[in-house]
Structure formats: structure tokens, C-alpha cells
Amino acid sequence: MFLVEGNKTIAEIPSTKYKITDLYSVNPSSLPIKNHVITAITPQELKKISFLKHPKDSVAVCELRREETVGDVPIQLILDGVQDPGNLGTIIRLADWFGIPQIICSLDTVDIFNPKVIQASMGSFLRVNVFYQDIESYLKENTSPVLGTDMEGENLYQFNFPEKFSLVLGNEGNGIRPEIERLLTDRITIPRFGESRATESLNVSMAAGIILGQIFGRN
Amino acid sequence: MFLVEGNKTIAEIPSTKYKITDLYSVNPSSLPIKNHVITAITPQELKKISFLKHPKDSVAVCELRREETVGDVPIQLILDGVQDPGNLGTIIRLADWFGIPQIICSLDTVDIFNPKVIQASMGSFLRVNVFYQDIESYLKENTSPVLGTDMEGENLYQFNFPEKFSLVLGNEGNGIRPEIERLLTDRITIPRFGESRATESLNVSMAAGIILGQIFGRN
């Protein structure tokens, strides 16, 4: 089971693959869900149930549903050991924004049903299919181009993106691991325009946003 | 005073406008700072001083230094009530990455010396000048174009960016306030490519990253 918090996201669940088992709300009439018992609770009770510092109006307990069949899609993301729940949530939100239907995560990537991931995705987890797989095996059988970010790759702004590809995003501290790096067909770099050479690299979700902004901006 | 944590960022301070007053380290010899007394402390003491869940090696106590003279620069950011320290830190990091030398914050924007801002900026606060001002008065005297994000603005990917401009970024929940909105000369929108109309808007720092990626990618 996992928890979805807030009327806005909960209201979307019935039209998705997820199933609500229990609903709790401090204000049941505010929750636009039909054909489901809603248990009224006090704000104190909500505070105990919620994972948020500032709990919202309602919580829904939902059944976990793991994706099994990876689809064949033009553009997809592959995450190699992303650890921060906020980053995974933000990346799911970006995928949803740009219409990317699926994300394949390495087995050591943070779990999509981590409450912080669900929260950071702002409901986007309902619309993007997220798989957990041995990505090394997956990529070995994959035949379309595999792009990854690299400090010494081709300039993002001059790179010709193929029609179909996977974009690999690596771990926050260590980047893409060597076994996966070897399977990349193209390496791209987001050029730095600041004069300072001391700037740390961009955060993985920000790098994803800038790259996806480029890809879709050209269409 | 404010605190800077971690050898990597501390090592940069002597070459900036900031001044270290005290240095504490669990491993003084690891800190590449000359001509300064470094007090050896235990990991337990560090844990008490640090604002981090997982404290790093060293902390530096520094003197606050507020910027006073706003410079005349080609491209600058103006923040209208950004509240989340992580967002401000991320935006400072983006400015540094793209070589934007200054950010003007409304008086109700989260303080740059908030420990979470300093941390999220990853040392970039040392290289970007951040001012706090009445941005309404500032913009009324400003003569170059003032761009802002808007749900119904011009398509980012088709917009012709002027040579010189300010980009206004609004509050996380409420966006740009009406008094400031009225002072915008151009409104731009990041088009959404996903089919779902339910996707929430992008986070303010992500929107900034995608817009800046576009601006600098065209040069």
C-alpha cells in the first residue's frame, strides 16, 4: 500500500491504473470521489497519518501496482541509481510535462512509492509509467540510441537528437556507473556559461529539465 | 554571521568578498586555508554546530555582507517572493552556471543567508551578487525589457530574447504579484508537451533552468 495526500491528486486516482482502498478526510464533502466510503477524521488524526509537515485535507490509501511490461516508446528516461526522492519526483513531473510516457529505473534507484517521491511528483506519478529493472541487461538488448550526460560530451545545443532514444541520468554523487557508461552511444554536455570554473555540476533533475527543454523546443 | 559548511566551499571563501571569522574542523589538516586559526573539534561537536543532517568535515563562521549597489548587467533575475530555501539556492546555482552576475530579490524573498539556501547553492552564493530591494520601485525606474513567466504568454521556443533584460520569477504558490505583473513588458510560457492537462505547473527553479537553457543555447 502507499499513501496519496491532498484532494487535488486524490481526485485524479479513479481515472488511472491505481486503486484506492481507503479514504480519510478532515472534510469529506470537499473530496470529489464518488462510490467510495470516506472516513471523517480530525486534523490531529490526519497529522498522525500524514507524511507531510503541513498535512493537506485528505489522504488515500492505495494499492501498490508495479509496472511489468516495458513499452516501446520514442523517448524514455533511464535512471541509474538516483537516490534523492525529491529528484525522482521532479524527474517524473518533468517526464509528465514533456509527454514522456515511461521511465526505467535501476534496481537501486529510490522507490517510486516512497512518500517523498509521490509528494514531489505532484500527481505526475499517476501518468508516467515507472519500471524497476536491471538496466544493464535492458540496455544490452536495446537497439535504439542511448544518450547520457558526460562532462566531456557533445555540446547539447549542437547535438542532433535522433527520433528515438533513451536518455540515461546518473546518481547524484557518482553519475552513471561504468558498466552503463560503456553502453552509451552518445555523450552530451550542458555547456557552462559562467566564467567560474568552480561551479559544481548541475543537479540531476535540473540537467534533465534543461536537456528535455532543448529536445522538445526544437520540434 | 552565517555558516558555510564543507571543505570544498570553505576553500573558495578567501578569494571572494566574504570574510571568515572562525574555522572549526574535525580534520584541520584537510582544510586548504592558510593564515587562519583552525579549531579542531570532535564529530559530536560538529554535529551540534552543523545545520546538516549529515555534517561535513568543517564549518566556517563568516561575516554577513549585504550587497548595496545594484550593477548594470545584460541579463539579471528578479525574484518576487520566492519562499523555499531550496529554490533560491538552486536559482543562485543556475545563475552561476549561466554566468548571470546578479539577482534582485523582493524584500519578502527567503534570505540568502538562510543555512538551507547556502547549502542548496553549493558555493554559488560566493559568485553571484544577490540584492534585496523593493522590486516594484526598482522596476519602475528600470528601462530595459522585463520578462516574466505566464500561463498565457508567448511560446518560449519562439520568443526573441532581447540583448538586455530582467527575468522575473514569482512565488511558488501565487506566482508574480499583480503590481509586478503590470510592470512586465513581455510574458513567456514554457509549452507543455504532455497530453495530460492535469500536470501541475513546473517548479519555479525548474522553469528558470529551462528558460535559461533556451536563452544561452541560442548564442
Q: Does B10 touch chain A (CB under 8 A)?
A: no
Contact between chains at B209 and A214 (C-beta distance less than 8 A): no
Touching check for A120 and chain B: CB below 8 Å? no
Nearest CA in chain A to B89: A203
Query: A197 to chain B: nearest residue by CA?
Result: B97
Residue of B nearest to A193 (CA): B98
Chain B residues with CB inside 8 Å of A192's CB? 97
Do residues A102 and A71 make contact, with C-beta atoms less than 8 angstroms apart?
yes
Residue A94 three-state SS: helix
Q: Is the pLDDT of residue A63 over 90?
A: yes
Subunit contact A213:B216, Cβ cutoff 8 A: no
> In this predicted model, what pLDDT tens digit does every residue of B128-139 receive, in sequence order?
999 999 999 999
Length in residues, chain B: 219
- CB-CB: which of A97, A198, A202 is closest to B199? A97
* The pLDDT of residue B79 is above 90: yes
Q: How far is A122 from chain B (nearest CA, A)?
A: 7
In order of A109, A196, B122, the CA distances from A170 in angstroms are: 10, 24, 19
- Nearest Cα of chain B lies from the Cα of A36 at a distance, in angstroms, of 22
Tell me whether residues B97 and A202 touch, CB distance under 8 A: yes
Q: Is B73 on the interface with A (CB under 8 A)?
A: no
Its ipTM equals: 0.85
CA A187 to chain centre: 22
- Cβ(B215)–Cβ(B94) below 8 Å: no
Instruction: Give the pLDDT mean for A85-94.
Output: 96
pLDDT at A77 over 70: yes
Across chain B, mean pLDDT equals 92
Distance CA A66, CA A56 (A): 26
B216: pLDDT strictly greater than 90: no
pLDDT tens, residue by residue, B163-200: 999 999 999 989 999 999 999 999 999 988 876 665 56
- Predicted local distance difference test score (pLDDT) of residue B204: 93
Percent of chain A with pLDDT over 70: 97
CB contact, 8 Å: A214 with chain B? yes
In whole angstroms, what is the distance from residue A79 CA to residue A85 CA? 12
pLDDT value of position B150: 85
Look at residue A199 and tell me whether its pLDDT is greater than 60. Answer: no
Question: Residue A192: is its pLDDT beyond 90?
Answer: no
B199–A157: do the CB atoms touch at under 8 Å? no
Task: Pick the residue of B193, B197, B212 with the most A CBs within 10 A to test the interface with A by mutation.
Answer: B193
A210/B209 CB distance under 8 A: yes
Hey, which residues does A132 pair with through a beta bridge? A105
| Residues 191 through 210 of chain B touching chain A, CB cutoff 8 Å | 191-196, 198-200, 202-203, 205-206, 209-210
Q: In what order do the strands lie in the sheet with A38-40?
A: A2-5, A58-62, A20-25, A38-40
**pLDDT value for B100:** 95
Closest partner residue to A192 (CB to CB) among B12, B97, B198 is: B97
**Cell digits for A112?**
517510486
- Span B75-217: which CATH code? 3.40.1280.10
Domain range list for chain B:
2-62, 75-217
* Averaged pLDDT, B93-117: 95
Percent of chain A with pLDDT over 90: 78
pLDDT digit string (tens) for A20-38? 999 999 999 999 888 899 9
Does residue A152 register a pLDDT over 90?
no
Does A213 score more than 70 pLDDT? Answer: yes
d(CA A168, CA A163): 16
pLDDT mean over A152-161: 92
pLDDT attached to residue B184: 97
The answer to whether residue B30 neighbours chain A at the CB level (below 8 Å) is: no
What's the average model confidence in pLDDT over A64-93? 93
Closest to B126 measured CA to CA, from B36, B17, B22, B51: B17
| DSSP string for A36-77 | S-EEE--HHHHHHH-SSSS--SEEEEE------S----SEEE
Q: How many residues does chain A have?
A: 219
Per residue in B12-39, pLDDT tens? 999 898 999 999 999 999 998 888 999 9
Nearest to A216 among B193, B200, B206 (CB): B193
**With an 8 Å Cβ cutoff, are A123 and B200 in contact?**
yes
Banded pLDDT at A200 (limits 50, 70, 90):
low
Distance in angstroms (rounded) separating the CA atoms of residues B154 and B191: 9
- List strands edge to edge, sheet with A165-170: A129-133, A102-106, A75-80, A165-170, A146-155, A186-189
Provide the residue type at B40 as one letter: A
Query: Taking CA B169 as the corner, what is the angle to CA B165 and CA B173, rounded to the nearest 5 degrees?
Result: 165
